[in-house]
Structure 1
Amino acid sequence: MQETRSQVDWLARAVDVLRGAMTGDTMQQLILSAVFLRRVSDVPEAVAQGRPTWRDLLGQVSGDGHAVQVVQQALRAWSGDYGRLRLDLADDPMLGAVRPTHVRADQVLRDLFAVLAQAGRSLTMVELYEQCLARFSEDRAGGDYYTPRGVVRTMVGLMAPEPGDDIYDPACGSGGFLIEAARYVKTQGGRPEDPVGPPLRLFGQDVNARTRRIAAMNLVLHDLADDMRRDLDEGDSLLDGSEAGEKYDVVFANPPFSMRWDRGNDRFVPWRYGSPPKSKADFAWVQHVVGALKPHGRAAVLLANGAAFRGGAEQHIRAGLVHDDVLAAVIQLPPGLFPHTRIPACLWVFDKSKQAHAKNRILFVDAQDAGTQVSRGRRVLAEEDVDRIVGTFRGWGERGEDDEQGWSRTLTLEEIEAADFDLQPGRHVMPVVAEATPGADERRVRELTEELYGQFAEAARLERELRDALEAL
């Protein structure tokens, strides 16, 4: 693991080295494609069937020719069908824009292949690919297609997929939810090795061609190409509105938070619970997900906190979801989980077939203090955090377990109506009241006063800098 991390460190530095030669997006795509190439080309010549093997590539890249051209030709040669997935590895305008004679790019590619040559085979390449995705997510571009592992494991644990389930992600990114769902089924002992047993059926869609390519490579590396029922779909999931066909047992979604979107002509786009505002697509995603579920289906969706309390059309939609009794839980996640955004998020759990004791009730979990601080402003969900969140929901769903002060609380439909359909967990979960120690209040007032004066001073400094800048114009 440590060796793999050091390799990722080097690969991440390569992105910075080549920013003058190509964009960061291009270099990320090239690195991920090279890791994939290392895995699929490391085969005997008979299996390669005329395509360059890893040994061939090492010799060509380290020779006198242009490494960029060698890699582009190899990616083109290894394009094709992998199970039900179609991979066009070189069909990328960003990669094609890299000049084949770029000297600096050639040298970095030679170094890159040297690093990959030292890495092991099979599992190491899968791990290396995942580590690259995680590292690149720290860049804003990478955050568009990668969900942190702890969040993925939490959502998959809440859904508890089973063999034979039809599993769908309408904004699949790098394919993390589909891969973790398959891993969960296998590790839980539910997936039989017997080929006549019920297979796992995976479906993914993403509007971005580059993202679909990253997901397809990831799925192939995890040996899941045959579990896909078809190739990754292109196109905008939201064009289906609420009528996504009721096709799936389980749906996962981490759509862009509160993005603006083009609603098109609402006369032709059906929205069961009401038309979402064009300024925020959160409830367009929610309605698409709910509409995609079979009558017994369940889903987990990540949304910005604002979706839980904003008024207008969104309040009307929340009321419809609550009255229809398809919302099972809202879980407040801790801040700092997503490196590409500081927007706090909640996890919404939907279930179309709640147990009798859960009917017309919603569980609220306030996990904002969970997680482990790993750096300034960054947190991760550790295994114990995942287990606690998942355990709370399962206990509630299966047995109707009691509320836990400071952590969870169940509200009835009438109580939620009285709160104007405000679904913020922090509003409903009763906080733990700590006993005050002598002088604690006075110390806290002093601390807050000092902090406030510090903010006043910072505001004054920024005002002076702004005035100086304006005078210099």
Structure 2
Amino acid sequence: MSDYLYLLLFLVFVQSRDPERWVVYADAPESALRDMDFGDTSGRSHVFDIVQFLDRNPPASRDESRQAFDLLLTLFQDTDARAADEYFTPLSVSRVMARALVGRGPVARRLHDPFCRTGELLGAYLDAVAEQGGEAPGDISGRVPGEGAQRLARMNIKLHGAKRPHVVLGPRAPAQPADFDGLLGSVDAVITNPPFGGPRAWRDAPPSYWRYGVTRSLEFDWIQYVVSCLAPHGRAAVLMPAGAGFRGSAEREIRARMIEDGVVECVMALPAQLFERTAIQTHIWFLRAPCGHPENVLFVDGSDLGTMATRTRRTLPDADAGRLVRAYTSWSGTGHGGTPGLSRAVGPEEISAQDHRLDPSLYVRELLSSTAAFDDRAAAKNRLAELSVNVESLHARARAADADAAEQLRRYGL
């Protein structure tokens, strides 16, 4: 299945981005297999049918090609995640991270993802820039651990508007890559979903980018590497496991030092069950370049948002994603503003009193001192009726979106 999807992705990309090569494929479909180094001989029977079908049914626009590529990539990621123990970034999460980062502005001139998987986050950033009518960054770079992901990432990023993305091979940990000196303190925006959950192994002296402390945690290795890449006015969006916000020992000390240095701007809690194969809850850490003194931190608790798309998987509708993005982009960066029940800005003193835990639910959710809120039965009944209507509306929109996706995939024999 994954080989067939990879073949489809490659052909959709070429048809959209390289018309001259597509003419060659239309005349000699087997040349596509040579170009992509497709080792599976069974692909020969598929490629003739696919090329002929696509040639007879060209996309109406480049935007349609991009949408088709995104749908196919989501299927590929879900299939590959089960086989390769990977956790690709869901489209809804990619959009929240990218739109929030772009919304704080200005648009980056130099954009980087140090673990860009299939390029989903870099592509989402480019989409967010286009939505605002901005100009795509001139310098876009990323690192991936394997050649297959490297090819997919390059195709994906180009389809989303990058002209010459620089995607290179790199390890699953920052490690002090060969190009580190070229990135140090020079990146306007970093957006990434790094691997987490395992120990960080190192034998020699601690890396130079460990500004906030020695760690055996892969997550805090990555987070310190990201900070070291930021230009003086740079920002970053990093997907982190929820546990990184409250685990103790060395991780607590690193969080404390990051707060004291003014690096953490916002921590946003996402719902659980957004990822294929795991119910893990994740947070987005929005970071800024160090300023040398503590600042207020915005906490956004979106853990109760979203709807169940399947029995085991949740998705974030556009309305919920928009609430999260606006909670961050509308914050002035000062004061103790926020939206009751969703977000709240917290001063460094209160964070210190909470043992430097960065868990949004700890600061946003208000404990009810009494049951007075439930005394008005008529109001409660009206509220339940309103919620029922909203749920039905969301289900209807989900069914319409599923039907549209199924129609697009039908064109590719899926």
Mark the CA change 1:303 to 1:210 in structure 2 (over 3 Å): closer, same or farther: same
- In the TM superposition, residue 344 of structure 1 has moved relative to its aligned partner by 0.7
Among 99, 116, 127, the alignment partner of 1:172 is: 116
Q: Which residue of 1 aligns with 2:155?
A: 217
- In the TM superposition, residue 113 of structure 1 has moved relative to its aligned partner by 3.4
Mark the CA change 1:400 to 1:135 in structure 2 (over 3 Å): closer, same or farther: farther
Among 39, 42, 45, the alignment partner of 1:107 is: 45
Mark the CA change 1:151 to 1:38 in structure 2 (over 3 Å): closer, same or farther: same
Mark the CA change 1:371 to 1:421 in structure 2 (over 3 Å): closer, same or farther: same
Q: Which residue of 1 aligns with 2:406?
A: none
Q: Which residue of 2 aligns with 1:12?
A: none
Among 56, 62, 68, the alignment partner of 2:27 is: 56
Q: Which residue of 1 aligns with 2:89?
A: 147
State how 1:13-412 maps to structure 2 within 5 Å.
Answer: 15=1, 24=2, 26-40=3-17, 42-43=19-20, 48=21, 53-57=24-28, 61=29, 70-73=31-34, 75=35, 89-90=36-37, 95-96=38-39, 98=40, 100=41, 102=42, 105-121=43-59, 122-139=62-79, 140=81, 141=83, 144=86, 146-160=88-102, 161-163=105-107, 165-191=109-135, 200-226=138-164, 228=165, 231-236=166-171, 238-240=174-176, 245-267=184-206, 269-277=208-216, 280-352=217-289, 360-398=295-333, 400=335, 402-412=337-347
Mark the CA change 1:178 to 1:142 in structure 2 (over 3 Å): closer, same or farther: farther
Among 425, 444, 463, the alignment partner of 2:360 is: 425
**1:162–1:190 CA contact under 8 A, matched in 2:** no
Mark the CA change 1:343 to 1:119 in structure 2 (over 3 Å): closer, same or farther: farther
What secondary structure is seen at the aligned counterpart in 2 of 1:396? coil
Q: Deviations over 1:37-57 (max 9, x none)?
A: 4435543xxxx5xx9623203
Q: Deviations over 1:108-134 (max 9, x none)?
A: 444433543454234333222111111
In the alignment, structure 1 segments of 5+ residues that lack a partner are: 1-14, 16-23, 62-66, 76-88, 192-197, 440-473
Q: Which residue of 1 aligns with 2:385?
A: none
What secondary structure is seen at the aligned counterpart in 1 of 2:330? helix
Mark the CA change 1:429 to 1:398 in structure 2 (over 3 Å): closer, same or farther: closer
Mark the CA change 1:371 to 1:267 in structure 2 (over 3 Å): closer, same or farther: closer
Mark the CA change 1:132 to 1:399 in structure 2 (over 3 Å): closer, same or farther: same
- In the TM superposition, residue 438 of structure 1 has moved relative to its aligned partner by 10
Separation (CA, whole Å) in 2 of partners of 1:179 and 1:253: 12
What secondary structure is seen at the aligned counterpart in 2 of 1:266? coil
Q: What amino acid does structure 1 have at the position aligned with 2:250?
A: A
- In the TM superposition, residue 385 of structure 1 has moved relative to its aligned partner by 1.6
Higher Cα radius of gyration = 1
**1:172–1:253 CA contact under 8 A, matched in 2:** yes
Q: Deviations over 1:40-81 (max 9, x none)?
A: 5543xxxx5xx9623203xxx5xxxxx5xx5422x2xxxxxx
TM-score, length-normalised on structure 2? 0.78
Q: Deviations over 1:388-412 (max 9, x none)?
A: 1121122223564624332222222
Separation (CA, whole Å) in 2 of partners of 1:200 and 1:432: 48
What secondary structure is seen at the aligned counterpart in 1 of 2:75? helix
**Identity, % of aligned positions:** 29
Mark the CA change 1:397 to 1:142 in structure 2 (over 3 Å): closer, same or farther: farther
- In the TM superposition, residue 225 of structure 1 has moved relative to its aligned partner by 2.3
What secondary structure is seen at the aligned counterpart in 2 of 1:189? coil
- In the TM superposition, residue 235 of structure 1 has moved relative to its aligned partner by 1.7
Q: Which residue of 2 aligns with 1:416?
A: 351
Q: What amino acid does structure 2 have at the position aligned with 1:208?
A: G
Q: Which residue of 2 aligns with 1:80?
A: none
Separation (CA, whole Å) in 2 of partners of 1:128 and 1:203: 24
What secondary structure is seen at the aligned counterpart in 2 of 1:147? coil
- In the TM superposition, residue 172 of structure 1 has moved relative to its aligned partner by 1.0
Q: Deviations over 1:128-168 (max 9, x none)?
A: 21111112222325883742222111111221243452111
Moved more, 160-169 or 202-211: 160-169
Mark the CA change 1:432 to 1:408 in structure 2 (over 3 Å): closer, same or farther: farther
Separation (CA, whole Å) in 2 of partners of 1:401 and 1:119: 55
What secondary structure is seen at the aligned counterpart in 2 of 1:233? strand
Q: What amino acid does structure 1 have at the position aligned with 2:72?
A: C
Separation (CA, whole Å) in 2 of partners of 1:143 and 1:32: 21
- In the TM superposition, residue 294 of structure 1 has moved relative to its aligned partner by 0.9
Separation (CA, whole Å) in 2 of partners of 1:429 and 1:314: 22
What secondary structure is seen at the aligned counterpart in 2 of 1:144? coil
Separation (CA, whole Å) in 2 of partners of 1:110 and 1:222: 27
Separation (CA, whole Å) in 1 of partners of 2:17 and 2:322: 35
What secondary structure is seen at the aligned counterpart in 2 of 1:320? helix
What secondary structure is seen at the aligned counterpart in 2 of 1:335? coil
Q: Which residue of 1 aligns with 2:412?
A: none
- In the TM superposition, residue 291 of structure 1 has moved relative to its aligned partner by 0.6
TM-score, length-normalised on structure 1? 0.69
Separation (CA, whole Å) in 2 of partners of 1:348 and 1:273: 16
